[in-house]
Each structure stands twice: as structure tokens, then as C-alpha cells.
């Protein structure tokens, strides 16, 4: 009888351990978060009515109104020193997906042959999320700007390989047509793209499975399109000092209306508490819009220049993150860039050991959890920007740049001319410190040169435009 008593006791203990283990919280039964990236096209740092920098009133538009983005910013964190990976669209879009710089990817401009890129790699946002939780579903809607179908990168739903053409841009159009005001009920497919996104999240809410969604809007890239009632509003609104184009302003607000529809649906479905929402733009705004003719105090002012150049106006972009446990209404001054998105999203999803030395980005999860304060740890020092070709517009000079802490170095490859700015104090990049701080200049130049050599970045040579032919045919690397 004593033996049976001990046996019964042992069985009860084992059962209690078994059921106790089953009910204890584990990584496997912890709910995975959702992620939504909303990517605008050609929207400047000061292109919205969200003041990105607390002490700089000029970090918001003096004309455009984006009330829904304001609402998102009030419940989230603004990054006032956020940088697109490139001053043009496709390289930035590649950088988001792969967590690498355009220099490492050797994808440095629109129109390149990209056969040299390993699009099948397991290191993309959708594939890494599915490795953490196989229940993740990924979708992309809008402007893709990458040369393979989204399914190759792990997306389950998309509208395929899309670009500016699908958004109503015709590069053969005259400037008069591009910058004229076209009236339409679905400008730049803002509302149809938003509806695709809403349909997707409704399906995910019904199935109760986590998702990654990227909504890449065609707005606010030219051609200018807007709803009639929105355009009429801006025709009757006082123009700003730096931003004056009523059609562009109307298109900006129409985009914000689309963003609001998506945010409202996320809230109505009860997903807000489990969803990280990231809003940004692929590069800075076009620096001058008709009727303006000169770069001085252009549409990105106080930032210098704009799209196509690695000056502040071309790469510093609006960036807002809202989601679980992010303190509301906070500004982070820590510099971040698009290659940081992949490691950040992966860590937020539960993988703290993404130790890939060929990734350039670092996770900024600690910033989100710490009032925006801290540093982002990356495998290589600084933020790198590489524009090794002579653009037919803008600066028209091949150049690269590196940002480390408060300082930014710009190197022109035709003459090796160097510019050094403290971009914390000098947003306009007016005071060249190259002769004043020679040691700082040398430190940044060495770091930039070493990185470009380490990744064998495409090297500028006279006459090379990197278009159409396989990159091996040019045979020009650092």
C-alpha cells in the first residue's frame, strides 16, 4: 500500500509539472506582433505637418496638412535624424528589404541591371519573420521598384513588379504635364492601394495570424494628381514661404487621407495594440517645383538641395514609429537609416541573435524602449551613402558621404574634394569645416574609403553610368 501511495504521489507531481509547463508563457505561444511599413515616394523631411524636430519649426511644412500622420506621431516616436539609404528610389527600396547599403548591394541607381544581386537569399524581412514564426503572412502593395516579383523575397500577396509607370508617371511627359494638376478620384492609386492593404489586414484579423505589410505609395512622385475638392482647398489656402505648389500640397493631403483610412481600420479591428506602424519616404523631395527655378531655399529648406543628391535634402526623411510599448510623442535624435529596419523588425518579432556580418543595419529596438535615447550598434561604423555617377540633374557629380555622430563628410570622386559639416548644428550644410577640423575630416574619410573598399562598391570613372549592362561589364570597383 505504501508503494502505491508513493506511486500515486509521483504521478500527481508529474502531472502538475506537465500542466504547469504547458500553461507557462513560452516563446512558442507568445503572440507575434504585426508590422506595417507605409512608404511615401519623394516626400521631404519637412513635407508633412508633423514637426520632426522639436526645436526646429521648419522641420514641418508651412503649407501641407497631414492630420492623420500627426495623430500617428502623437502616439509614437519621431526620428528627426532618419535617413533613406539613397537619394533615389530603387536603391532605398532594396536596402529596406535586405538590410544592406546600396554600396554593398551594388545597386546604386535606377535603371541598373541587377542580375548580380542574390534575390533568393534567406535574409529578407518576410523570410526572416517566417523563420521566427511560420504563421507570418507577408504582403506588398503599391510601388515595388525591385527587379523580381515580391514572391521571390517571401511575400505571399502583392500586385507584382510595379514602378512609377503604374502610378501614372510618364518620364517622356513635358514638365508642364508632370507639374500640372490632374483631377482624379484615385490620385496616384492612393485609395485603391489602401483598399488592397485593408482587405489584407481584414483577412489576417479573421485568421488571427501575424502579418508583415508594406504599403508603398506612388504619391507624392510626379505627375501631380489630386481629388478635386482637395485641390480647391489649397487653391484657396495661403501659400507657404518654401512650399507653394497647390497640386503637390493637395496630393500630399490625399495621401494622408489614405493613410488615415488604413490606420482607422487597424484600430477598428482591434489590432493597434499588437501592431508596429512605420511611416517614412524613399528619399527626399524634389528640391524645386514650378514656378520656382533656383535651389536656394527650395522645397526642402532648411535642408540643402534634395532628391538625387546625398546632401541633407536628398536623404533625410520623415520617420515615425508607433506600436506596443513605444512612449507617445517622443523625438529621437539618434541617426538611423533604412538598412536598420530589417534587424529592428526581426528583433521586435523575437529574434535577438541576428548575427550576420554582411548586414549593414543595426536594431533600434532599444531606442523604441528607451525614450529614443541610445545608440544603434552596427557591424560597420557610420551611415554610408554612395552616388558614383554623374546625374544629369542636381549636383551632376559623382559623390559619396558618411555620417558618424554629428558629422557628415561628402567626397566628390572627380576631384577628391571634401566637405565636412556638423549636421546637428548646420542643417543647411553651409559651413564647411574641412580646414577647421582636419583630424575629424581624416577620420571620416578613412572610414568611408575603407567601407567602400571592403564591400567592393562600384567605383566612379568618367563615362560610366551603370545602366542596362551587367555590372561585371563595367569592371570598376573600389
Give residue 384's pLDDT band: very low, low, confident or very high (50, 70, 90).
very high
Q: What helix, strand, coil percent values describe the chain, rounded to 5?
A: 35, 15, 50
Kindly tell me if the per-residue pLDDT of 129 is higher than 90.
Answer: yes
Pair 52, 121 in one domain: yes
The answer on 118 and 141 residing in a single domain is yes
Same domain, 343 and 448: no
In a domain, 28, yes or no: no
Q: Which of 329, 344, 369 is the last residue of a domain?
A: 369
Residue 306 lies in a domain: yes
In this structure, are residues 213 and 35 in contact, taking their beta carbons and an 8 Å threshold? yes
Backbone angles phi, psi at 142, to 5 degrees: 105, -150
Name the residue among 304, 265, 292 with its Cα closest to residue 395.
304
Mark whether 65 and 192 lie in a shared domain.
yes
Domain that holds residue 266: 34-369
83 in the same domain as 207: yes
Residues 102 and 153 in one domain: yes
Is the same domain home to 411 and 356? no
pLDDT band at residue 9 under the 50/70/90 scheme: very low
pLDDT tens digit sequence for 302-345: 999 999 999 999 999 999 999 999 999 999 999 999 999 999 99
For 228-246, the pLDDT digits (tens) are 999 999 999 999 999 999 9
Say if residues 125 and 139 touch (Cβ distance below 8 Å).
no
347 and 390 housed in the same domain:
no
In angstroms and rounded to an integer, the radius of gyration of the C-alpha atoms of the chain is 24
What is the count of structural domains for the chain? 2
Average pLDDT on 166-180 reads 79
Query: Mean pLDDT across the stretch 146-165?
Result: 97
Residue 26 lies in a domain: no
Q: For residue 6, is pLDDT > 50?
A: no
Residue 151 has which C-alpha cell? 514572391
User: Are both 67 and 103 inside the same structural domain?
Assistant: yes
Higher pLDDT, 176 or 194: 194
Query: Could you tell me the end-to-end alpha-carbon distance of the chain, in angstroms, rounded to an integer?
Result: 83
CATH number for the domain that contains residue 418: 3.30.1120.10
Q: Residue 330 sits in a domain of what CATH number?
A: 3.40.720.10
DSSP E strands: which ranges in 4-159? 34-40, 77-79, 82-83, 137-142, 157-158
By percentage, how much of the chain surpasses pLDDT 70? Answer: 92
Q: Over 70: is that where the pLDDT of 60 sits?
A: yes
Amino acid at each position: 500500500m505504501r508503494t502505491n501511495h508513493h506511486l500515486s504521489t509521483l504521478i500527481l507531481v508529474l502531472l502538475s509539472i506537465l500542466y504547469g509547463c504547458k500553461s507557462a508563457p513560452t516563446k512558442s505561444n507568445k503572440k507575434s506582433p504585426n508590422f506595417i511599413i507605409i512608404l511615401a515616394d519623394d516626400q521631404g523631411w519637412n513635407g508633412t505637418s508633423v514637426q520632426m524636430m522639436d526645436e526646429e519649426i521648419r522641420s514641418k511644412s508651412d503649407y501641407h496638412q497631414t492630420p492623420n500622420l500627426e495623430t500617428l506621431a502623437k502616439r509614437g516616436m519621431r526620428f528627426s535624424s532618419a535617413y533613406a539609404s539613397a537619394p533615389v528610389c530603387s536603391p532605398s527600396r532594396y536596402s529596406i528589404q535586405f538590410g544592406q547599403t546600396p554600396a554593398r548591394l551594388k545597386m546604386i541607381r535606377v535603371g541598373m541591371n541587377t542580375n548580380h544581386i542574390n534575390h533568393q537569399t534567406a535574409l529578407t524581412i518576410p523570410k526572416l519573420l517566417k523563420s521566427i514564426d511560420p504563421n507570418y503572412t507577408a504582403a506588398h502593395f503599391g510601388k515595388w521598384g525591385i527587379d523580381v516579383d515580391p514572391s521571390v523575397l517571401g511575400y505571399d500577396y502583392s500586385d507584382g513588379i510595379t514602378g512609377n509607370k503604374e502610378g501614372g508617371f510618364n518620364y517622356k511627359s513635358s514638365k508642364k504635364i508632370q507639374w500640372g494638376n490632374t483631377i482624379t478620384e484615385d490620385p496616384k492609386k492612393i485609395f485603391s492601394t489602401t483598399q488592397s492593404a485593408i482587405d489584407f489586414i481584414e483577412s489576417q484579423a479573421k485568421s488571427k495570424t501575424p502579418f508583415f505589410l508594406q504599403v508603398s505609395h506612388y504619391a507624392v512622385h510626379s505627375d501631380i494628381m489630386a481629388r478635386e475638392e482637395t485641390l480647391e482647398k489649397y487653391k484657396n489656402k495661403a501659400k507657404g514661404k518654401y512650399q507653394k505648389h497647390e497640386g503637390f500640397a493637395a496630393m500630399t493631403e490625399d495621401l494622408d487621407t489614405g493613410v488615415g483610412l488604413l490606420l482607422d481600420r487597424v484600430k477598428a479591428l482591434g489590432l493597434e495594440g499588437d501592431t508596429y506602424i512605420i511611416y517614412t519616404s524613399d528619399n527626399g523631395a524634389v528640391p524645386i517645383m514650378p514656378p520656382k527655378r533656383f535651389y536656394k531655399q527650395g522645397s526642402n529648406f532648411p535642408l540643402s538641395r534634395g532628391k538625387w543628391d546625398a546632401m541633407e535634402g536628398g536623404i533625410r526623411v520623415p520617420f515615425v514609429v508607433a506600436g506596443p510599448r513605444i512612449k507617445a510623442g517622443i523625438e529621437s535624435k539618434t541617426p538611423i537609416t533604412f538598412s536598420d529596419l530589417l534587424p529592428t523588425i526581426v528583433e521586435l518579432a523575437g529574434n535577438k541573435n541576428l548575427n550576420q556580418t554582411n548586414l549593414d543595419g543595426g536594431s533600434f529596438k532599444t531606442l523604441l524602449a528607451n525614450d529614443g535615447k541610445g545608440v544603434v550598434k552596427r557591424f560597420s561604423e557610420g551611415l554610408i551613402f554612395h552616388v558614383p555617377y554623374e546625374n544629369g540633374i542636381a549636383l551632376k557629380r559623382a559623390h559619396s558621404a558618411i555620417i558618424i555622430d554629428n558629422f557628415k563628410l561628402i567626397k566628390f570622386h572627380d576631384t577628391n574634394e571634401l566637405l565636412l559639416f556638423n549636421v546637428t548644428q548646420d542643417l543647411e550644410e553651409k559651413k564647411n569645416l574641412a580646414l577647421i577640423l582636419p583630424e575629424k575630416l581624416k577620420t571620416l574619410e578613412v572610414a568611408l574609403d575603407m567601407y567602400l573598399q571592403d564591400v567592393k562598391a562600384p567605383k566612379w570613372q568618367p563615362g560610366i553610368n551603370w545602366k542596362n549592362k551587367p555590372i561585371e561589364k563595367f569592371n570598376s570597383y573600389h
